[in-house]
Amino acid sequence: MIVASAGNVVVWMVWLVAGFSCLASGVAVISFRNPFFSALALIGNLASLAVMYLLLNAEFVAAAQVLVYAGAVVVMFLFVIAYVGPRREEPWTGGPSWQTLGAVLAAGALLVEIVVAISLDAGHSLGHDGKVGPTFGSPAWIGRLFLVDHLLAFEITSVVLLIAAVGGVILGSHVRRVEPLTSEVAD
């Protein structure tokens, strides 16, 4: 029992550190002026979220999170930020300033709504649950789920990724304008 409570304290401490760094880096992402630093702050956010996924017995999702986000998405962001170059966000000139106030109010209302919805149910069905099996969250278990139970979702996801890749290539490609032949004929 003493061992169990000591483990509980350790898990709580890891959770507190991960949750605090998750929220702090989230605030950093939206408050840096330079998008380069925002993208770097997102890496901290993703790493602390991966720790939380590990605490939730989701080992494969934690690994995929680090690989997909920190490995691919953030690198792509950094390349585009380097390509676009350092452009500072110009200070707000046109438009009413009530838009910022309205944005803060809207985000706050959204947050309050979600937290109230969670707290209404926190004591009842969201309390402690039992142990899960040792295979919960393991790569073999995820693979079986993906390729047996959720095969259609897996295939649709691959098609969505393919379409997005084609769209990204088309959006990023140079548009070569073909000069109309009629202008030469007219000359």
Partner 1 sequence: MLGPDTAWYLVVAAFLFGIGALGVLIRRNPLIVLLSLELMLNGGNLALIAFSRHFHNGAGQIFGLTVMAVAASEVCVGLGLVVAINRKKLPLDVDRLSELRG
Among 23, 82, 139, 155, binds partner 1 (CB under 8 A): 23
Among 86, 96, 134, 172, binds partner 1 (CB under 8 A): 172
Contacting residue, 2, 87, 98, 176, with partner 1 by CB under 8 A: 87
- Please name the residue ranges forming H helices in the chain: 2-31, 35-55, 59-65, 74-84, 98-121, 139-144, 151-172, 181-186
Query: Of 80 and 184, which CB lies nearer to partner 1 in the complex structure?
Result: 80
Please list every residue from 54 through 83 that binds partner 1, using CB under 8 A: 55-58, 60-61, 64-65, 68-69, 72-73, 76-77, 80-81, 83
Among residues 47, 82, 86, 95, the one that binds partner 1 under rule CB under 8 A: 95
- The 10 Å CB-count burial string (b at 16+, else e) for 121-140 is eeeeeeeeeeeeeeeebeee
Instruction: Decide: helix, strand or coil at residue 148.
Output: helix
Of 82, 139, 155, 165, the one binding partner 1 (CB under 8 A) is: 165
In the three-class reduction of DSSP (H, G, I as helix; E, B as strand; rest coil), residue 85 is classed as coil
Indicate the DSSP class of residue 34.
Answer: S
Residues numbered 26-45 forming contacts with partner 1, rule: CB under 8 A: 26-27, 29-30, 32, 35, 38-39, 42, 45
The distance between the two most distant Cα atoms of the chain, rounded to a whole number of Å, is: 94
Count of residues touching partner 1 (by CB under 8 A): 90
Does residue 89 bind partner 1 (CB under 8 A)?
yes
CA distances from 27 to 37, 41, 115 (A): 12, 9, 18
The answer to whether the beta carbons of residues 76 and 85 sit under 8 Å apart is no
17 is a contact residue toward partner 1 (CB under 8 A): no
Site string for partner 1, 99-138 (x = CB under 8 A): -x--xx-xxx-xx--xx--xx-xx---xxxxxxx---xx-
Nearest residue (CB) to partner 1, 146 versus 186: 146
Is 171 one of the binding residues for partner 1 (CB under 8 A)? yes
Q: What DSSP string runs through 119-146?
A: HHHTTTTTS------TTTT-HHHHHHII
Min dist CB 95 to partner 1, Å, is: 7
